[in-house]
Chain A
Amino acid sequence: MTPLLQQFLAEAREFLQGISEKLMQLENTPDDGALMGELFRLVHTLKGNCGLFDYPEMLRVLHAAEDLMVVVRDGDLPYSQTLADRLLDAMDFVSLLLDEIDAGNDSAAAHAPAAVAMAAALRQLIAAPQGIDDTCGEAATATDGTAGLPLQQVPEALRMAWYRTGTALLWIRYTPEAECFFKGEDPFFLARNVPDIAWQRVGAASAWPALDDLDAYHANLQLDLVSSASRAALDEHFRYVPEQITITPLTALALVQPQGDENGGPVYEDFVLAALAHLERGDLVTLERAARSMLELSAAGLWLASALRWLLVILETEPANRAALHAVIVSLRTFAPPRLSAQPLAIVTEAVAAPAPATSPAHDIAATVIATQLMILRMPDQVNWLPGRLKAVASTLAACFASIGRSDLLPGLDAALAGAMAQSASGPLLAWLLAYAEAPAEAADTVPVEAPLASSEPPVALADGDIKFNRRAEDSSTASARTLRVDQDKIDRLMNLIGEMVVAKNGLPYLAGRAESVFGVRELSREIKTQYAVINRIAEEMQGAIMQVRMMPVSFVFQRFPRLVRDISRKLGKEVSLVLIGEDTEADKNIIEALADPLIHIVRNSLDHGLESPEVRRAAGKPAEGKLEIRATQEAGRVIIDIIDDGKGIDPLIIKRKAYEKGLIDEATLERISDQDAINLVFAAGFSTAEVVSDLSGRGVGMDVVRAAVEQVNGIVTLESTVGAGTRLRLSLPLSIAVTNVMIIESNRQIFGVPMDMVVETVRVPRTAIHAIKNHQTAVLRGRVVPLRSLNSLLATDEEQLANDEDELATLVVRLNGEHVGIVVDDFREVVDIILKPMGGILGGLSGYTGSALLGDGSVLMVLNLKELV
């Protein structure tokens, strides 16, 4: 895959995302013209990018989408949900194609039918164009009898082929009598068996009547055919219905009917003048090159491009037919079909009397460029930027002449420009250029291809100091791009390195201690501590900067919810307004990506089970439209995501009964459990109140999956709900998962780590304050009954926890499942930052530890998984 293709894929996905966003915004403000303009530009640019590659299926759909957006942008078609649906479907299709390109699949051709259908669905929304008028208004002036024939119905390529072969052709118009069926005639059979058919068309002789008035036995047909058979053969074929047949010979020029968009402009005016001059002098080679060059710059669908193609065909097959050439060139100016007296279709292949000298391709382009500058100089002068425009035209002409070896013209050009600038008018420059244009033959004659003339004169000093032709590039510093795409692997490696550096720097305090206690050098100890302070500040700043690199706004995840909510609510027949708050809140990229699936699951549940249908809501006295709010904030080093709906809420009674039925709680608990505890049961494994499995709520997957995913990144989930009023679900997540802050504790002469985000406080509890309640030791701390657990017993050792001199037990109060638990340890140590590495290999089965880390003194610290131990 080439870098250009990679760039295309990345940018295309960005555009698709932007298109989806604009469509969602248009749902709220259908009349926003600026928004429609933006939407058009995104579709337009995406189509332009696609045109650089060979993806016809994608291009077909995008082209149709662009045409549709032109109509919408210009106000000719209002925004509607149907329009949004079709555009979204089209963009989904494009996204599918992008995925296949990314995967290296070559199955795009299999999507051709779908692309055609999708493009048709989009174009169907555009108003049908005016039907082509089958009656030619110039019938009265027909001189060869072909004016009334709808020759433009025949494809241009086919007519060109006929013109090239020079075959004599006849147009047969067969209009069966209205009563022909009662006479036993079969018009279709007769038409299909015409000898040597080259083209045919079935039409109506008059407008079709309404279906109720239609008489199926009343023929209303007009059959047009083109045949290369002889007149005699055709007369014989239609000998039974001669009065219903009109046969018209097709003249060569009659085939020449340009068609297409009739936009035009002055640029072709100059081409016509030049072309007529070439024709007058018999310089057909130059005429052909000029026509080809002009055709290259014209869109294929223009009437003028069609005329240019005909000009080239005539030059190719009938170069001596100057009358035809003249007629076609004039039609470029008049937009009327070429007119000429009737003449038999015959090919004259006389050789050109005098072969024109060969010219280089640069001259063809130069002719076009010069004609363009001529046209620019004819434009009105009353614009503020005229001086700049004149200088630009002069620069262009100077470069052009230098390129074709006519540097001898530069002094005259400079003088003409000086005159134009002095008068603030195009006149002097225009006059000079016209004088040059009157001698094109001489210019061509004096330029042999093999030896372009080198300028023999030194450059003349310029009258205007601002004009510098062919200036050498000047070195200058320019602002570099504002953004830089970086591989995530590189960022991750940088993150690992900063983490290792944080650990390495923690070795310094230990070294300072040894300097004092082992080597007895207090001065060295003090200096080490000073250096540690410096390195610590730099390391923390660097760590913060690197973690900032990994931060991205939660809008990365939020941006997919408008579409999700829209699709699901329509499918469910519910009305939902989605409010997103705090999209700019930032968090670590891994955190955000871990968030995506849980959030989608929560939103689906809210739409499916929480929010009611409009009728139910109205019956309850609520607004018909439900509200779903997703909010992100940063608090105390954590990201808080709230998902709040004003739906029916969660009924604790239903939860209790369901949990009992599923065997999650026993009968005693059923009687005793509080409403809040009952609501929290939705997080229990195996719990799901979904009565019917549907594709919307993840097939009854419980909220335990949500909680597990969140807790995997050290997050916390809490749920609050009020029956009839709504539900709020809160996710609390750490900003980053790379560096962990832990408290080191000591127990049984070993050290362990406890994540600081679980620690509520440390307290020394007098042994006399400990009470046994139902075989469990507890203490009252800050007015709260806290159960106590001995770490040694949790770790299955038989040692008693050590007390201090005042007979107090060191107790670490931690938050577990929303409750406080006191962990009795031997002593507290310092708080450190560590790089937490998961337990790997054979140690992976130790569920009591979340991982290990290397400390500054080289020892290994085991980090406890208190959730599993307790």
Chain B
Amino acid sequence: MKRILIVDDAATVRMYHRSILEEAGYEVDEAINGIEALEKALNATYDLYLVDVNMPKLDGYSFVRELRGHAMIPQAPAVMISTEAKTSDQTKAFEAGANLYIIKPTRPDLLVAHVRLLLGDTST
């Protein structure tokens, strides 16, 4: 079973994404900020990261940058999910090392479609 790490400081958003992804058959783990996410990435292996932007202690951009700078962590795809819709924010995310950018709030079917693609699952 593929494992996904949801990184978001809002418990409500984590619960929302978790329910969607577990329903789709994935194993889900959570982190409430970038630092906790880095700790978990160092302790476990994930196949995909869903990363919020605005978080305390370590924001989404910085987390992805740290992740990409870590030789010891397998480099799984990262999806930035944010309410910030400006293209400059997306460019900043891609520079940091994100592979896709989705605007919040995500439609469940669209989120699942993107996740399936990024995890290499064939369409149903």
Contacts and interface: CB of A to CB of B under 8 A. Distances in A.
Residue from the set B19, B88, B95 with the largest chain A CB neighbour count within 10 Å: B95
B67 interface: yes
A4 B91 contact: no
B117 A362 contact: yes
A7 B100 CA distance: 28
B97 A392 contact: yes
A403 B120 contact: yes
Contact of A51 (B73, B83, B97): B83
B47 to A, nearest CB: 7
Given A268-B87, A474-B44, A392 B118 contact: no
Interface stretch (A258-266, A317-325, A702-710): A258-266
Interface string A247-264: 000000000000001011
Given A388-B70, A389-B68, A362 B87 contact: no
A366 B29 CA distance: 25
Contacts of B10: 11, 45, 48-49
Contacts of A11: 10-12
A51 B104 contact: yes
Contact of A265 (B69, B87, B113): B87
A398 B120 CA distance: 7
Nearest to A14: B11
Interface residues of B, number: 65
Interface string B1-22: 1110000011111011001000
A173 interface: no
Given A379-B94, A395-B75, A45 B99 contact: no
Given A261-B86, A392-B78, A479 B39 contact: yes
B40 A402 contact: no
A452 B123 CA distance: 9
A522 B1 CA distance: 66
Interface in B66-97: 66-71, 73-78, 83, 85-88, 90-91, 94-97
A392 B76 contact: yes
Interface string A1-34: 0011001100110000000000000000000000
Given A388-B69, A396-B77, A369 B97 contact: no
Contact of B12 (A52, A404, A466): A52
B75 A478 contact: no
Contacts of B117: 362, 365-366, 369, 399-400, 403-404
A297 B79 CA distance: 12
Interface in A455-475: 466, 468-471, 473-474
Interface residues of A, number: 70
A478 B43 contact: yes
A473 B90 contact: no
Residue from the set B9, B73, B83 with the largest chain A CB neighbour count within 10 Å: B83
A52 B43 contact: no
Interface in B34-63: 39-40, 43-45, 47, 54-56
Contacts of A376: 94, 99
A267 B122 contact: no
Contacts of B76: 392, 395
Contacts of B97: 385, 388-389, 392
A391 interface: yes
Given A265-B87, A376-B94, A396-B77, A51 B123 contact: no
A304 interface: yes
A405 B117 CA distance: 11
A375 interface: yes
Nearest to A378: B94
Contacts of A388: 67-71, 73, 75, 97
A792 B100 CA distance: 85
B91 A267 contact: yes
B74 A468 contact: yes
A393 interface: yes
A395 B47 CA distance: 9
25 contacts: A7-B12, A41-B55, A51-B105, A52-B16, A263-B87, A265-B88, A265-B91, A299-B86, A361-B123, A365-B113, A369-B114, A375-B94, A385-B66, A388-B67, A389-B97, A392-B76, A392-B77, A395-B75, A403-B117, A466-B71, A471-B45, A473-B1, A473-B2, A473-B47, A474-B45
Interface of B: 1-3, 9-13, 15-16, 19, 27, 29-30, 39-40, 43-45, 47, 54-56, 65-71, 73-78, 83, 85-88, 90-91, 94-97, 99-105, 110, 113-114, 116-123
**8 A-B pairs with least C-beta separation:** A299-B85, A388-B68, A391-B75, A385-B68, A399-B120, A402-B120, A385-B69, A265-B87
